[in-house]
Amino acid sequence: MSYSQNDEERIILQYFDSPGRLLDIGAYDGRTFSNSLALLERGWHGVLVEASPRVFTHLMTNTAHVSVDLVNACIVPDELDLVTFYDNMGAVATMNDANHERWKERAEFIPITLMTTNVSRLLKRFGTSYDMVNIDVEGGSVDLFEALVPRMPEVRMWIVEHDGMMDRCKQLMQGWDVAYSNGENIIFTR
């Protein structure tokens, strides 16, 4: 059984031959479309971040059998703020207004106000040493990616939902291999 949305899991499992540590920002329920769960079930330790308070309860249940630190927070690149988060039980919850507009005819959203925390606070609490980082935050992934890459030199694999900005991602990762890409995600490896 594959958890990932497309074929990412196959690439991930072929690349890594021993357990490590991962960071997953936008982990959703920990199972659906997960690029992390297969690794966690193979002995990895992870930090899983999910902004939606309603989905977070499912994340806790779905990852009770693996070694994880769970974070219920809305992560942003820089300043702390109160934001409108368009929550839903599907995999398209977002604080990005353009993403909300794109999906509002097909998904039911409940606007809630969330306090954000920034990447500096997240990394201060959980460290910067990871083998794999997955970022999937519906409309904000590339901004987080740009904020995280310079602070995390040990990462061996980055998986980013590119939101149509694949060229911007590739520019940042010059010298890295593109191990896989599709209409949604790009995987960079060393």
How confident is the model over 83-124, as pLDDT tens digits? 889 998 778 788 888 888 888 888 889 999 999 999 999 999
Structure-block tokens of residue 171: 């520019």
pTM value is: 0.93
From the list 166, 136, 102, the residue with the least C-alpha distance to 6 is 136
Distance of CA 177 to the CA centre of its chain: 20
Sequential pLDDT tens for the chain (190 residues):
799 999 899 999 999 999 999 999 999 999 999 999 999 999 999 999 999 999 999 999 999 999 999 999 999 999 878 988 999 877 878 888 888 888 888 888 999 999 999 999 999 999 999 999 999 998 899 999 999 999 999 999 999 999 999 999 999 999 999 999 999 999 999 9
Q: What is residue 21's predicted lDDT score, i.e. its pLDDT?
A: 98
State the CB neighbour count (10 A cutoff) for residue 128. Answer: 16
Q: How far apart are CA 32 and CA 162, in angstroms?
A: 19
Q: What is residue 22's predicted lDDT score, i.e. its pLDDT?
A: 98
Cβ–Cβ < 8 Å for 39, 18? no
